[in-house]
Amino acid sequence: MDSEYASAIMLYNGFTMTRNNHPTITLAITGASGAQYGVRLLEYLIQAECQIFLLISQAGRMVLRTELDLDVPTRPIDIEGLFRQKFAALPHQIQVFGQRQWTAPIASGSNVPQSMVICPCTTGTLGSIAAGLSSNLIERAAAVMLKEQRKLILVVREMPLSVLNLENMLHLARVGVVIMPASPGFYFKPQQVADLVDFVVSRILDHLAISHDLTPRWGLDDL
Ligand SMILES: Cc1cc2nc3c(=O)[nH]c(=O)nc-3n(C[C@H](O)[C@H](O)[C@H](O)COP(=O)(O)O)c2cc1C
């Protein structure tokens, strides 16, 4: 199994998929409230044997500390170690890059992953992507997804939304970006916060075409 993920290193040589067809996904965690969504998604992507490129903004680290008491180190190699240990990831399964690490494979269209999710996504990062900026690696990776016409999902969290926020979302939705506001449903009778988190994460996984049984399905399971 380890060697399967070692083969993911071949992404550096131009492969967009691991040799064993594990999905390759960029997950960016920015500084919006809802850090739990991002961490739970990461946990599930690891379980689902995805190859993950992980990016965390400076504000994202602050919110992870505020909301989850999780102290995320600054060095990419230490962040890899933290999450590898926390979620029992395999060697090479998570690769973390800094916000100025322009040598990262995801900075180039020649090495683009299958999908990218920004979860949670701030209105600031939303606005930068809508304006076509690439001033950090999260924005650049998203710009690459857009130009290469790959799946980009933004889990935006803010309330209320300004006209500018709404226009930015519409603008991006029109060019194929999936806008998934972090707004869980209540029709499945959630009992705890974790159920609400899983609701949002399960809808993201559906859009990534990753099978899961995180939440019951309307019309199929007893609710
Ligand atoms: C605890 C906390 C919660 C925040 N919640 C939100 C939020 O829900 N939505 C948002 O757009 N910004 C939120 N912010 C503000 C962003 O973190 C801030 O605008 C930051 O510059 C975003 O940078 P980033 O997009 O690079 O992560 C929050 C900040 C903190 C410290």
Give the bridge partners for 28, in sequence order: 55, 118
Distance 21 CA to ligand 1 centre (A): 35
| Residue pair 46/89 in contact by the 8 Å Cβ criterion | yes
Predicted confidence (pLDDT) at residue 87 exceeds the cutoff of 60: yes
CATH code at 38? 3.40.50.1950
| Residue pair 45/116 in contact by the 8 Å Cβ criterion | no
Looking at residue 216, its pLDDT comes to 87
Q: In what order do the strands lie in the sheet with 115-121?
A: 94-96, 51-56, 24-29, 115-121, 151-156, 178-179
Is position 201 within any domain? yes
Is position 52 within any domain? yes
Question: Quick one: average pLDDT of 7-13?
Answer: 47
Predicted structure pTM score: 0.94
Q: Which residues line ligand 1 (CB under 6 A)?
A: 30-33, 57, 59-60, 62-63, 66, 122-125, 157-158
Ligand 1 atom 9, closest CA? 32
Is position 120 within any domain? yes
Predicted confidence (pLDDT) at residue 1 exceeds the cutoff of 50: no
Looking at residue 5, its pLDDT comes to 59
Question: Nearest Cα to 54, choosing from 22, 32, 24, 12?
Answer: 24
Q: Which domain, by its residues, includes 87?
A: 21-207
Predicted confidence (pLDDT) at residue 7 exceeds the cutoff of 90: no
Distance 67 CA to ligand 1 centre (A): 12
Is position 26 within any domain? yes
Looking at residue 199, its pLDDT comes to 97
Looking at residue 16, its pLDDT comes to 52
Distances (CA, A) of 120 to 77, 167, 171, 214, 215: 22, 19, 19, 19, 20
Ligand 1 atom 31, closest CA? 63
Predicted confidence (pLDDT) at residue 20 exceeds the cutoff of 80: no
pLDDT tens profile 166-208: 999 999 999 999 999 999 999 999 999 999 999 999 999 999 9
Lookup: tokens for 100? 């100025």
Looking at residue 162, its pLDDT comes to 98
Looking at residue 116, its pLDDT comes to 98
Looking at residue 220, its pLDDT comes to 84
Is position 220 within any domain? no
Is position 86 within any domain? yes
Is position 11 within any domain? no
Q: How many domains does the chain fold into?
A: 1
Is position 56 within any domain? yes
Cis check for the bond before 113: say yes or no (omega within 30 of 0).
no
> What pLDDT band is residue 10 in, cutting at 50, 70 and 90?
low
